[in-house]
Amino acid sequence: MNDSLQTVALTEQGMKLQSKLVNGASLKFTKIQAGSNQVPLVDLRRQKEIIHPKQDLYLQKIKTLEDQVEMKVLLENTSLEESYILWQIGIYAEDPEEGEILYCIGQMQEGKLIPNKRQNPGYSITWNFQFKISEQEHMSLDIHPAGLISVEVFTDKTEEIEERINQLNENLFLMTHPIGSVLAFAEDFDPNTKGGVWERFAQGKTLVGVSESDADFAAVRKIGGNKAHLHSTGDFYLKNEHLQAHSHTVNSHTHSVPNHTHTMQDNGKHRHDFYVKANAASGTGRQVVQYSDGNSGGEWKWGSSNSYEGSHHHTVNSSGACTTGSSTPGTSAIGGGQAHNHGNTSSASNLQPYITVYYWMRTA
């Protein structure tokens, strides 16, 4: 909303006082007031006082420039208990005959809300009023102390306003950064100077958002990950199916046996069992061995030598090489399937492309 005044005019009383200034009267301002009501612009000059005055304003500075007088007026709410809608500003002066009069009045185009000291500490507005005065050498300015804000008071008020502004900024900072907030700065700035208690956070670490659906990231402030890593196979049982397909070839060759002797000692005892029958044709009773084809006559009978004989031994002498022959080439599987590992790689980096900042977290 615009803070400027739509219309500023000398009142009828002010115009009468203005004519008296030509005759050597001095201009003495007594007070400046703000009001919460308005009148039609055609009635503004006839107004004799501010309607519904709400607070006194301060005159900060007056200076003369040739045929003009410039006044700087300050509105501030350090002692304002109730807010209001500002419509008018009136400057009062002392008439030597009439006493205190409404010398000049200004009216806003739209009403402006002036907050009280609790709603917006340190709130202020300034306006510059300029008056054209003829024959300045016949005039003097006599500023009434009640309507003048001194340099000391102005300095004190300014410092008070700045302090309240700083306090408001601190409160706003804390309101917008509750406990647990994390801030990042690209330079070494300490947020403790803005209020609250802050500690450095996540030094040398990056931040990952909590994900309740992922067990690795389901809890807040969980620490994990490694800056570097090793690749290791650990113990592993290597089986035939893990080997590269291959064959083992055996070339044709000769086995040579050195000279040696094989001896069988006192073995081979045996007897001969056979069938016999008498030869009836001879009549002599001689026994003739017959084969089982039954061509000879007579009756078959069992016969035996009745004892085991023939104990003997064999000796075999060998001289020269003995060749077993050639062998057909073939394949065979090898490997014992024992646990083994291939060791570790050298340390490898897990770092992504990065840029460093200062992290701070509010703890109180």
Least confident of 14-23, 107-116, 310-319: 310-319
The whole-number pLDDT of residue 6 equals 81
Q: How large is the average pLDDT for residues 161-171?
A: 78
Kindly tell me if the per-residue pLDDT of 97 is higher than 80: yes
Kindly tell me if the per-residue pLDDT of 11 is higher than 60: yes
Kindly tell me if the per-residue pLDDT of 184 is higher than 90: yes
Residue range 12-69, pLDDT digits in tens: 998 888 888 777 667 788 899 999 999 998 899 999 999 999 999 988 777 777 667 7
Q: How large is the average pLDDT for residues 131-145?
A: 48
The whole-number pLDDT of residue 267 equals 56
From residue 176, give the alpha-carbon distance in Å to each of 117, 133, 181, 190, 193. Answer: 22, 53, 9, 17, 15
Q: Which one, of 124, 130, 158, lies nearest residue 62 by Cα?
A: 130
CA 210 – CA 28 distance, rounded (Å): 71
Q: How large is the average pLDDT for residues 269-280?
A: 54
Which residues, 6 or more positions from 1, have their beta carbon under 8 angstroms from its beta carbon? 110, 112
The whole-number pLDDT of residue 99 equals 92
Label each residue of the chain as H, E or C: CCCCEEEEEECHHHHHHHHHHCCCCCEEEEEEEEECCCCCHHHCCCCCCCCCEEEECEEEEEEEECCEEEEEEEEECCCCCCCEEEEEEEEEEEECCCEEEEEEEEEEEEEEEECCCCCCCCCEEEEEEEEECCCHHHCCEEECHHHECCHHHHHHHHHHHHHHHHHHHHHHHHHHCCCCCEEEECCCCCHHHHCCCEEECCCCCCCCCCCCCCHHHCCCCCCCCCCEECCECCCEECCHHHCCCCCCCCCCCCCCCCCCEEEEEEECCECCEEEEEECCCCCCCCEEECCCCCCCCCCEEEEECCCCECCEEEEEECCCCCCCCCCCCCCCCCCCCCEECCCECCCEECCCCCCCCEEEEECC
Given a contact cutoff of 8 angstroms between Cβ atoms, the answer to whether 221 and 201 are in contact is: no
Give the max Cα distance, the chain.
209
Kindly tell me if the per-residue pLDDT of 316 is higher than 50: yes
The whole-number pLDDT of residue 330 equals 53
Q: Which tokens in the block code for residue 249?
A: 């070839």
Chain-wide mean pLDDT for the chain? 75
Q: What sign does the CA torsion over 55, 15, 137, 66 have? A: positive
Q: Which one, of 148, 126, 129, lies nearest residue 59 by Cα?
A: 148
What is the pTM assigned to this prediction? 0.41
β-pairing, 182-185 vs 358-362, is antiparallel
CA 290 – CA 297 distance, rounded (Å): 9
Name which residue leads in pLDDT, 130 or 74.
Answer: 74
pLDDT-derived band at 72 (thresholds 50, 70, 90) equals confident
Given a contact cutoff of 8 angstroms between Cβ atoms, the answer to whether 42 and 114 are in contact is: no
Q: Which one, of 263, 272, 265, lies nearest residue 309 by Cα?
A: 272
Exposed e or buried b for every residue in 322-350, given b needs 16+ CB within 10 A? Answer: eeeeeeeeeeeeeeeeeeeeeeeeeeeee
Q: How large is the average pLDDT for residues 256-279?
A: 60
β-pairing, 58-65 vs 99-114, is unpaired
